[in-house]
Homo-oligomer: A and B are copies of this chain.
Amino acid sequence: MIRIHGMSASGNCYKLQLLLAQLQRPYRWIEVDLLAGATRTPEFLARNPNGKVPLLELEDGRCLAESNAILCYLAEGSAFLPTDPWLRAQTLQWLFFEQYSHEPYVAVARFIARFLPPEHPRRAELPRLQERGHQALAVMERELATREFMVAAGYSIADIALYAYTHDAPAGGIGLADYPHLRAWLARVEAQPRFVAQGA
């Protein structure tokens, strides 16, 4: 059985829980205490030199890092990753958008606001993170005004990847009031068969 090394509070790890539930694929979850340095041990670094979770470990011990690369690998051959070259390219476009223009703001604002103490100096980063997070959500809003899911083919790993932190953006002080199409999309994602909420 495949194993996922992950931290339950992480949206990047939740992506895999959501996809695997929807694929109905069994896996073993290995909780990793990131904040206690568990990704910096020699054993973990041998599996992922970049010291991050989530990490997929195959039955034979081979490992794959990067949440969105793992999504692509696990979704191959399913309806969650289009086979048409252009639709597949669009899917990848949104996966890279998520990691470059969305997660570093929406996820980091959530982390600081939710997990760091009130007097922590990193709270000074919040206004800029929130501003950039809103920019990312505005891009999504514009897209979702024209179609039901991020890629025209329908619900895909692009939606899974972007749902993971978007649904919890308010925890980082990034409210969703100005994004009606995005909120309708969140509800459509949550209505998908075998959807599981984070922490469920």
Chain A interfacial positions (CB closer than 8 Å to B): 49-50, 52, 62, 64-70, 72-73, 76, 85-86, 88-90, 92-93, 95-97, 99-101, 103-104, 139, 142-143
Contact = CB atoms under 8 A, between A and B. Distances in A.
Q: Which of A49, A69, A95 has the most CB of B within 10 A?
A: A69
Contact of A96 (B96, B139, B143): B96
Contacts of A49: 139, 142-143
A96 B93 contact: no
- The binding surface of chain A is classed by DSSP as helix
Contacts of A76: 85
Number of this chain's copies in the complex: 2
B93 A65 contact: yes
Contacts of A95: 69, 96
A137 to B, nearest CB: 12
Output the residue of A62, A67, A73, A100 with the most chain B CB within 10 A.
A100
Given A49-B143, A139-B50, A92 B68 contact: yes
Nearest to A92: B69
